Structures are given as structure tokens and as C-alpha cells.
Amino acid sequence: MDPSHSAEEAAPYPPPARALRVEEAAPYPPPARAWYLVGALMFFYVFSFIDRQVIAFLIGPMKRDMALTDTQVGLIQGFGFAVLYTFLGLPIGRLADRISRKKIVTVGVLVWSFMATMCGLARTGTDLFLARVGVGVGEAALSPAAYSLLTDSFPREKLGRAFGVYNMGIAIGSGIASLTAGFVIVAVSHVSHYTLPVLGEVRGWQLVFIITGLPGVILPLLLLTVREPARRGLLRAGGQTKAVVPFSEVLAFVNANKSFYALHCVAFGLLAMVGYGVGAWLPEALVRAYRPDGLTISQVAKVLGLATMFLNAAGIFSAGRVSDHLAAKGMRDAPIVVATGVALCIVLTSSVTPFMPSLSTLWIALAISAFPFSAYTSVGSMAINQVTPNQLRAQVSAIYLFVINVLGLGVGPALIPFINDKLFHDPAKIRYSLAAVVVGGCLLAALLLWLVRPIYREKHAAAAEWQ
């Protein structure tokens, strides 16, 4: 027996370059089946972001009817959603590495759709906060399982496109949330209360939550038509496949590669902080800034919805395609290069949008800024999964999402009103704190991404050997 080999297998968990032997890979699913899976997962992601983002267009009536402050609304939008969403991702990710990922997604969709509907029945700020917690509990099940499914369905040179299409759900869902809110707000503006069968009396803005949340209860039926791909790249030890990897070994793996995971996760967490912060407060900031010009929340919702659905979605998909193109030309750090460029583009476009001199130039600025705004989402999770062994992917993805959501959901929506309350002391000036978060968050993210580039190249080369 080779002593060095035995010592290596006995180590807590080796880094990718010295990973335990990987089981011979199963064939990838046929392209049609693989892309059908992408479409189904993207459809779920669309509905998750509808239920997550629609609240941003209801701030005014929520504050009025529940006597809330801007900071309290920010906590309900972000922290309320993130408080369990971030922590439950870890045990759910562990389950996704062990049991049927379809079943995990099914349960998650049912839970978040039901709790999104309950947001429409909330009577107090506390009720709404707890309902948002429930939405986060359900949505925690989707992405860790989805990332694992996608990585098992496509070869590496096509993975950027697959993740790009999946993450288009962010833009399409946010856009539909905006458009739905815009049209429903106009439709219900002349009536203060509605009486619904079984549900009873609800306010007009609460009806928006019910309309967007209730249809999601039937979504899991789509999963009956989806076939789960075989797991690929399964680690083996002592000639046997490791069916279960102890969580201590997962943490040991992450710790052994902390130079990559720490920089990568924090960088994308900062971009998420900007994304969720702007998503939560841009509509209200624009209405407050351009109220003398007659701007209404319904107008903002419709324009922002169209820009997000088409231009933002195109940006997300394009980032994945560009990453695949650069990778095909031999650029090992393609996802990191793309994300760095996106971060700088967001600084140049989103920081100036709320300061346009007229409504016509505002619409143009919104359209331009929409294209790069969420493009980083198609490459961040893909990069993580490319350098992580199969039995660890959903769990490491959950750690990645934990950092993303602590900074993104937990900090972003609350940071903007907090800065405004402490520095500007004027609700109409919240666009200044919004711009400050955009510039500071994106520039720091770009710096961290630049530092992680050479480390990622090493991990990518090592992963190519054991995959």
C-alpha cells in the first residue's frame, strides 16, 4: 500500500487538485431534455421573483395603512425575507446532494406560493414580516437544487448558457411583478377594500399579493414532466462511491479553498446587495424625485417592468454566452472577467439613472441601465459549481447563497433607507443614498473579483483534471 496515497484519502477533505477519485461520468441528457429542464426551472424562478419583488411597488399604501417607516419597510422587504432564507439554504442544500432534487423544488414552490398569498392577508406590519419570512423559507429550496441539476445536465462549454437562461427568471419575474403591480394598482385605485370569497375583506394593495401568489400553488404539476439527470462526477474513496459526505468534510473542503470561496462569495454578495437594494427602492425613489413632473408608481412599474423583462433578461443571457465564448477560446477565468465588467457597467449606468433632467431622459436611462444590471447572476453560481465536486455542489452553493443573501437581502433593502435617515434626513433624497450604495458596492466587488482571478484559474485547471 502506498503510504502517501492512504494519507491523502484519510485527510479531512482534499482541495480540488488532490480530490478523491471521481466515478466515471454518466452520459449527459439529450439536449432537448436538458433544455426542457432549464425552461422548467427558469419558470419556477420567474414566479419566485414575482412573489419576492412585487412588494417594492406597494411601499406607499403599506406605509399608510400599517403606519410604517422607510426603515421598517426595508426590514420587511429584505431582512424578513432573508432571516430564514439564508440559514435554511444550508440544510436544504445538504438534502439536495442526497435525495431527489425534484421533490425539494416541489415542496419549496408550494410553501413560498402559499406564504406569498398570506402577505395579502396581513393586518399588521408584524403579520407581513412573518409572511415574508415564510416566502423566504419556500424559496430557499429552489436555487441549490437547480444549480446541481443544471451542472449535471450540460458539458462545461455550454453551462454558461444554461445558467444564463435559468437566471433570466430574475429579470422576467421582476418585470412581470412590475407590470402586474402597475396595472393592478390602477385597477384597484378607485376602491379601498375588496371582499373576496373565503378570504374576506382585503385592501387594494393586498389584492396584488393574492393575485401574484395564489397561482403558484399549481406550479409543481410541471415537475411531473421533468426527468432528473444522473449525478455526475461522484467522488469515490476506497473503491466505493461516497453516497454521503459529512458536513464537516464540506466545511473542510471550503476551508481548504477559502482563498477562492471567500473572495468570490463576498464579491457577488456585494453585487447582490446593490441589486436587491436598488430593486427595493428605485421605484419609490423615482416617484419621490419626479413627483413634481407628475410621475406615478404605476408609470414607473410599467416602464421598469418592460425594461427588466426584455433588456435585463437579454443582459443576463448575453453574459452567459460571452462567458462560454471566452472559455471556448481558452480563457479559464472567463466568468470572473465577465462579472468584473458587469460590475463596472452597473456603476456607470445605474448610479446616474435617478438624476436625469426629465422624464424622457429618465426612461432612456432606465433602459440602458437595465441591460447590465443583473448580468452577473449568470456567471457567479456557475463558477462555484464548476470547481466543486458533485456531492458538495448544492451544499457549497447554499453557502454561496448564504453570503449572497445576507449581504443582498439582509443588508441591501435596509441599507439605503438607513443611509438616507442618517445622512440626508429627507425622504425625497433617498436617490442619493441609492447612488452611494451602487457606486460603493460595485467598485468594491470589482476589486475583489480582480483579486480572485488568478486563484480561480488554478481551481478551474484542477477541476478539469478530476472532472
pLDDT tens digits, residue range 151-167? 899 987 788 899 999 99
In whole angstroms, what is the distance from residue 169 CA to residue 338 CA? 19
pLDDT given at position 146: 92
Residue 165's alpha-carbon distances to 47, 170, 257, 411, in angstroms, are: 15, 10, 29, 27
In whole angstroms, what is the distance from residue 149 CA to residue 88 CA? 19
Q: CB under 8 Å to 24, separation ≥6 — which residues?
A: none
Question: Which grid cell is 271?
Answer: 453585487
φ/ψ of residue 294, rounded to 5? 85, 15
Average pLDDT over residues 95-103: 88
Contact between residue 205 and residue 191 where contact means Cβ atoms under 8 Å apart: no
Q: Is the confidence at residue 19, as pLDDT, over 80?
A: no
Q: CB under 8 Å to 310, separation ≥6 — which residues?
A: 175
pLDDT given at position 54: 84
pLDDT given at position 13: 38
pLDDT given at position 431: 96
φ/ψ of residue 140, rounded to 5? -60, -20
Q: CB under 8 Å to 156, separation ≥6 — which residues?
A: 327, 386, 464, 467
Q: CB under 8 Å to 22, separation ≥6 — which residues?
A: 233, 234, 235, 236, 389, 466, 467
In whole angstroms, what is the distance from residue 263 CA to residue 401 CA? 14
310 C-beta neighbours (distance < 10 Å), count: 16
Q: Is the confidence at residue 344, as pLDDT, over 90?
A: yes
Q: Is the confidence at residue 241, as pLDDT, over 60?
A: no
Q: Return the minimum-mean-pLDDT range out of 145-149, 231-235, 355-359.
A: 231-235
> Using 50, 70 and 90 to split pLDDT, how confident is the model at 396?
confident
Buried b (16+ CB within 10 A) or exposed e, 360-375: eebbebbbbbbbbbbb
The residues that bridge with 193 in the sheet, in sequence order, are: 203
Mean of all residue pLDDT scores within the chain: 85
More confident residue, 78 or 106: 106
pLDDT given at position 464: 66
Q: Return the minimum-mean-pLDDT range out of 136-150, 196-210, 233-247, 351-365.
A: 233-247
The three-class DSSP label of residue 19 is: coil
The residues that bridge with 195 in the sheet, in sequence order, are: 201
Q: Is the confidence at residue 250, as pLDDT, over 60?
A: yes
> Using 50, 70 and 90 to split pLDDT, how confident is the model at 15?
very low
Contact between residue 371 and residue 319 where contact means Cβ atoms under 8 Å apart: no
Give per-residue pLDDT as tens, 289-307. Answer: 999 999 988 899 889 999 9
Q: Is the confidence at residue 443, as pLDDT, over 70?
A: yes
Q: Is the confidence at residue 3, as pLDDT, over 60?
A: no
Average pLDDT over residues 77-99: 83
pLDDT given at position 33: 94
In whole angstroms, what is the distance from residue 388 CA to residue 349 CA? 34
Average pLDDT over residues 67-90: 83
The residues that bridge with 203 in the sheet, in sequence order, are: 193
pLDDT given at position 240: 52
